[in-house]
Each structure stands twice: as C-alpha cells, then as structure tokens.
C-alpha cells in the first residue's frame, strides 16, 4: 500500500512569517493529494487539494506544490496568523477511495 511521510512533526513560526510542510509518498499511482487542518477536539477540515495533473495550486494565503517525479508535495502558508495554529495532515490516494495520511505537523504561530 501507499506510505506517506510528513515533516516536520512540529513547527513554530512568528506571526506574519511563512510555514512550509512537506510530504513524500511511495506509490507512483497516487493521483490526489489533499491537505487537512485539524483543530483541537475537532475533525479534520479540508483546506486545499491538488491532483496529479497539476503542479501548483493556490488559494489566498495557502498553496500546494506537487513534484510527481520526486513523489513529494508541500503545503505553503504565507503571512501566518495565530488562527493558523493547528495540526495539519497531508494525504494521498491511489485507486478506490482509501486515503493514506501523514503523521501530522503541529503548527504554532507565535503572536
């Protein structure tokens, strides 16, 4: 099956700085890569996603890049705000609808 690795496990940034979280995957057949934000005591919330036929996607302060050759994808958050503090998960999907999740990155934005 697919194996998704995520780094770093924890990340602290000053408010206004950028944050980058990286994930790698093992199955070259994976074709869809969502990112989820999970706040304490809540379920994961989709924040952005990218499909394998696209190299980059941006939504306001959030962007995702995908390198299919290297089998890695990254989440970029610019102009970070305290409300961005949460745990972020990357995921990959091959056939069917079974998502494989990374182990999460705990992001802290320091005011």
Residues that bind another protein (CB under 8 A): 4, 6, 31-32, 34, 36, 42-46, 49, 89, 91, 93, 95-104
Contact 73, 4 (CB under 8 A): no
- 3-state SS class at 84: helix
Q: CB of 1: closest distance to another protein in angstroms?
A: 9
Residues 6+ apart with CB under 8 A from 55: 65, 66, 67
Nearer to another protein, 12 or 18 (CB): 12
Nearer to another protein, 29 or 79 (CB): 29
Nearer to another protein, 4 or 107 (CB): 4
Q: How far apart are the first and last CA of the chain?
A: 41
Q: CB of 99: closest distance to another protein in angstroms?
A: 6
């Amino acid at each position: 099956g697919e194996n998704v690795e995520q780094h770093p496990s924890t990340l602290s940034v000053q408010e206004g700085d950028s944050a980058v979280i990286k994930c790698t995957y093992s199955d070259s057949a994976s074709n869809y890569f969502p990112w989820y934000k999970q706040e304490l005591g809540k379920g994961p919330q989709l924040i952005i996603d990218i499909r394998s036929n696209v190299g980059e996607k941006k939504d306001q302060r959030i962007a995702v890049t995908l390198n299919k050759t290297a089998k890695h994808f990254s989440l970029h958050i610019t102009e970070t705000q305290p409300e961005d503090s949460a745990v972020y998960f990357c995921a990959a999907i091959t056939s069917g609808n079974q998502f494989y999740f990374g182990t999460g990155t705990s992001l802290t934005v320091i005011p």
